[in-house]
Amino acid sequence: MPTNHILPTRVYYTIFAILMLCTFATVLIAFFDLGPLNAIAALTIAVFKAVLVVLFFMHVRYSTRLTWAVVAGGVFWLGILLALTLSDYLTRSWQTFG
């Protein structure tokens, strides 16, 4: 039977520790004024945390290429939705009607 990638529990505990640290860090950073960096930092940390969960807790790191493709596809499509909609919002004020 496919008892392949059974990870040692150590991996899970390590990831858990990193995730908790990240949570602490993101809350901490939020209380300092870094200008636009605040939002960037918060989102970067969130992406990092999500990637850890996906790769290790959800075993994608050890999964087939197809699973990778599905995950990447979902994120990519979300990107399409955001990018093309924002292409409207960000350029609306460019209109220079006399």
Long-range CB pairs of 88-94, under 8 A, 24+ apart, other chains included: none
Alpha helices, DSSP H only, in the chain?
Answer: 9-30, 37-52, 65-91
Compute the least distance from the CB of residue 41 to another protein, in Å: 9
Residue 62 in the binding site for another protein (CB under 8 A):
no
* Residue 32 in tokens: 């300092």
Judged by CB under 8 A, the chain residues 6 through 35 that form the site for another protein are 6-7, 9, 12-13, 15-16, 19-20, 23, 26-27, 30-34
- CA pseudo-torsion sign 87, 88, 89, 95: positive
Distance of CA 84 to the CA centre of its chain: 20
The span from the CA of 2 to the CA of 6, in Å, is 10
Residue 86 in the binding site for another protein (CB under 8 A):
yes
Of the residues 25, 42, 62, 65, which one makes contact with another protein according to CB under 8 A: 42
Q: Give residues in contact with another protein (CB under 8 A).
A: 1-3, 6-7, 9, 12-13, 15-16, 19-20, 23, 26-27, 30-34, 38-39, 42-43, 45-46, 49-50, 53-54, 56-59, 63-64, 66-67, 70-71, 73-75, 77-78, 80-82, 84-89, 91-92, 94-95, 97-98
